[in-house]
Structure formats: C-alpha cells, structure tokens
Chain A
C-alpha cells in the first residue's frame, strides 16, 4: 500500500487507540487519501466527529478537528458550515452515534441538504462502550444488551437519509478501501448533504460475540457479500438477498442550504 500523505496525519499521536483488526484505521486512511485526491486546501478542511471508537479518528488527522459530543457532530457541523460556508466539512460518526442518539440531527441535516460530508463507520455495534446493539445491528445479532439476539429491525441508513432529503448516498466497506476512497471523493465533490456508509469490522465487540471469526474473516465476508450497483441492477430481489449493494446509490441535484441562505441575504460565499 502506498504511503499516506504525512502532512495530513498527526504522526506523533500514533499509535492509535483502536484494537488490532479494527476497521477504523482502514476507513480513516481511505478518508485521508480521498481528501488528498480532491485537492482541497488543507486549511479549508475540517474534520468533525461524534463520540465512539470511530470518532477518535479526528485526533489523528492534521486539520482543524472537532471532536464533539455523542450524536451531535452534525449539529456542531451545521453551525460551523453556516458561519463559514467556504470550509469543507467531513463528519465522522459511528452507526450508533449517527442513527440512535444523533438520528434527529441526521434527518434534519438531510432535510436541509446542507453541504456536509457524513462518513458513517458502520460496525453494527456500539464499539466504544463494549458491544451494545445499535439501530444498525441486524435483527437476530447478539450484543451485550441483546444477549439472545436483538428483536429490533434495523434502519436502512441510506434509504432513511434519502427519504429525509439527502442528495448523495453511497455505500462502501473496509474490505474495498480503494472503492471507499472513490466514494468519499464523489461525496466531497457533491454539493449538498452527502452520506457515505462504510461497513467496517469490529472483531472485538461484534465479531467475537456473533461468531463471525477474526478481522480477516469479517473482511472476507464483507467483500464476498458486496455487489456493485451496476451489477445489482440486473438481479432480482431474491438474488440480492444477503448481498450488500455498493457504490453510489443516488446523486441528486437540489438547492444546498448554506448557499441558499447566503444568496437570500445577498452575500457571496468565500
């Protein structure tokens, strides 16, 4: 694997706190490469994150970084984006952070279609607190708070976002980091609320309890299940069962909130 841009990493803050085999590092690296490819000026990039294992990524990235409170990253980011619309914001959240405690901010960010790039690291579990179920834990899977398997249905995060007004939705995973990188680049270049859901293995708090094997097994499984949007288009529902459709699921043109606001008060952005 090629070297990451050292400028964008706080190498002195490494080693990171994540467990061996955790997907957070892979997703973070894909994000860094994506930012580099966009050619954005380093000083214009801001990383905002919530609370959780994945949200700790902010501390390792050499930009202006804002590690907020649990679930509220998008609300902080909304304030910052409205104050400084020229900045490029990437908002890293865990599945619980984004869809449970932060669900309200998530749907309203989507509704406003504010130009934020939400990167949701979906490990299907509350990693940081040791393995409780989240709204993205698949039905039947075990968690410390669902020892017999959760009875609750899970959200389809990208459909939820779309229904709420998000104009860009993409799904990738830690097993296919190059593709993930490409998806993040497209999200970054999309004007409006962009959601990238990145499936990521948490062997420690999720894999072990659900007998999914180690990190390597989890990644292999992720890759095997994944199917591109293009290929999926030719398959029927039965054939798509147990597959995850990867790629850009939607990219819609619609007015962006910060731009509309500044336009309405007669001010130019930038």
Chain B
C-alpha cells in the first residue's frame, strides 16, 4: 500500500480522522476537556463530506442521538471525558441491550468528579467495564500512541458494526493531546454500507445468531427496546428467554474474542520480570524495556494491552507461567491489577505500581521497581 508523508497529529485528531476513514458520518457530543478536539475536528470535517455534526444539550442526549442515528443506518461516534462519560452510562447500556452499534470515546482525565480537568489519569478503567448497570459485555480499547488512536478507532467502528455492540475507545489526556508523526496509509478503506437487502426471514435478534442491523425506514417493522426482548425485539420477562438473551450478548463477544482482544509483547522471550500496562503508561514501560532488554539483555518484557475489556485473560495466564514477577503500572490507585492477579493464578507475583497525582509514571519509577525483582 502506498504511504503518504508522515504528518504531525494529535491523538484526538487521529481519533477523529480514524472515525471518518472508517465511515463515521454522524457525531453528537457535548464539549469537555480534554476531549473537545475530537468534536471540533468532526464539526469541521463532517459537513464537508455530507455527514451530520450536532452539539447536543448534554452527554445523555449525545449518547441518545448517536444511538438514534445508528438505527437510521449511519456509523456514529461520540467523545467525552469523565463527567460526561458518567452521564452517558444509562444510554450506553441501552445500546448494549438493543445491540445498536456506536463508538464512545472517553479521553480520561483526573477524577473523581470534576477532578483536575487538564491532568492525565487512568481512573476510568473499571467505569468503562462496569459503568452502566447490569451484567453487560463491553469492548474497550486503550491506545498508547497517536497512530494507535487512529487505527484502534477504525477497529472500534468496524467491530461495533460487525458485532452490533458499542465499543469504547479509552484514551487518556496524554495520548489525546500528544502530537506525534503518523503515517496514514493511503487508499480507500472498505466501508460496508448498511442495507435493507436481507433475507425475507430476517429477524433483528435472531436466536440462531447475529444478524446485520437493518436500519429503520426500509419496511422491516420491528421493535427496539431496552427491555429484555425476544428475537423480534418484543418485551419478555419469561425467565428462559431472559437468560438466553443475556447469554446472547456475552456469547457474541466470546465467539469473536480473538478479533477483539489485541495485545503486544516486546522484550525477552523468557522474562523473569514482566510489565503489563496500557494507554500512555505503555510509553514509559517501553523505554524501560528498551534499556533493560535491548541494551542490557536483561530478562525483562512488556505486554501492552490495546484491549483491556474483555480482559486478555489467556495472555496473562501464559505470561504468568513464564515470568516470576508481573509489574502493573497504572495511573490510578490500582484497577486492572486485580484482573492481572486473578489470571496470573498464583503462578507469578503481581506487583502494583501506582501514581495518582496527575503526573505520568516515569520510566525511572518503573525501572526502579523492575530492578528490585531482577
């Protein structure tokens, strides 16, 4: 594929560009630092290409509008940060339940509450998993660079469409605002158009498995609701049907697990000390591995998680069998470390490394911890 010249771009801009290149033509949002650039990019670009940009009255409405537009057949995205992400939760759950595709970007800032709006943090990892009520499945990507912000947004849009499942892109203030050179591959991306051309026995929630969403307005009359529903979308409270419907939501993620769960390992083949992290903290960890392994050949490695939910359990299990110690640096008080511990199953010692003062975890901090266990 021919490549264009590298361009200097911000993570938030890359996210917006990824969305547009993946066929997103509808954006609804409400301004909030540090995510506003995504909205501003969309406001500038979408009208030029026949898309819809709308600034809604709040984040609840933004989430609702995005779902409404998806049901109309558009690819949609909304971006926000902590307080706005909290407001989106009820309707996010609706989209999961009703199986309406959409992408929600949360550029994390320091919380709780209004917190430090301009300071980076990774405090919304558990909220991204469990923010909306009920036993729901969710997909969450955590880009660690401007380029990852671009391509993980594309992956989010496509997976969301394919699985009829909302996908969260969990950026952080560092990646969102950082400028990096990125090379965007040229050429047209394949964007499948949603269509009304479906078999006559099409059902919106077919018990036999996933069916494509047929947008409203094409003469396929069905019901969409946040209530538990049967395969035609009509409410049901019948226990076996309820159970089946909830299994259905989880099963589709399990079935496509390998397309969803993205991780990357660098470093020693048989590490004694491994680092597991995600988002902007990957950058500091990478610097540590460069020095410890590439320069000094120490048995150190880094498993970076582009997907944090569904949790990369298999990958952690395998890593724990090799490493003696797994260090989990996070810019929070310890969120994903609990999952790592759970899937390490006692095979490796799991050590949290946390920072929550609104500053990044430095390579020195990580390397000091690594040194302690070598």
Contacts and interface: CB of A to CB of B under 8 A. Distances in A.
Interface in A55-70: 58-59, 62-69
Contacts of B28: 79
5 contacts: A43-B219, A66-B68, A75-B57, A75-B62, A104-B61
Given A84-B215, A105-B61, A108-B57, A78 B68 contact: yes
A65 B232 CA distance: 12
A221 interface: no
A253 to B, nearest CB: 23
A261 B52 CA distance: 8
A87 interface: yes
A49 to B, nearest CB: 9
A162 interface: no
A80 interface: yes
Interface stretch (B143-151, B223-231, B333-341): B223-231
Interface in B164-192: none
Nearest to A13: B234
B61 A108 contact: yes
Nearest to B90: A69
Interface residues of A, number: 36
Contacts of B62: 75
A106 to B, nearest CB: 10
B26 interface: yes
B14 interface: no
B223 A67 contact: yes
A82 interface: yes
A64 B216 contact: yes
Interface in A236-265: 261, 264-265
B72 A87 contact: yes
Interface in B49-103: 50, 52, 54, 56-58, 60-62, 64-74, 76, 90-91, 94
A267 interface: yes
A101 to B, nearest CB: 9
A102 to B, nearest CB: 10
A97 B286 CA distance: 51
B69 A83 contact: yes
Nearest to B91: A69
Contacts, number: 126
Nearest to A105: B61
A183 B70 CA distance: 31
B26 A79 contact: yes
Contact of A82 (B57, B69, B225, B235): B69
A12 to B, nearest CB: 9
A84 B68 CA distance: 10
A-B residue pairs, 4 tightest by C-beta:
A79-B68, A79-B65, A83-B72, A75-B64
B98 to A, nearest CB: 9
B357 to A, nearest CB: 36
B221 interface: yes
B69 A79 contact: yes
Nearest to B62: A75
B217 A44 contact: yes
Given A79-B65, A83-B26, 18 more contacts: A42-B221, A43-B218, A43-B219, A59-B223, A64-B217, A66-B223, A67-B224, A68-B226, A75-B57, A75-B60, A76-B68, A80-B72, A81-B68, A83-B73, A83-B74, A84-B216, A104-B57, A104-B61
B346 interface: no
Given A66-B216, A83-B73, A265-B50, A78 B65 contact: yes
A79 B26 CA distance: 9
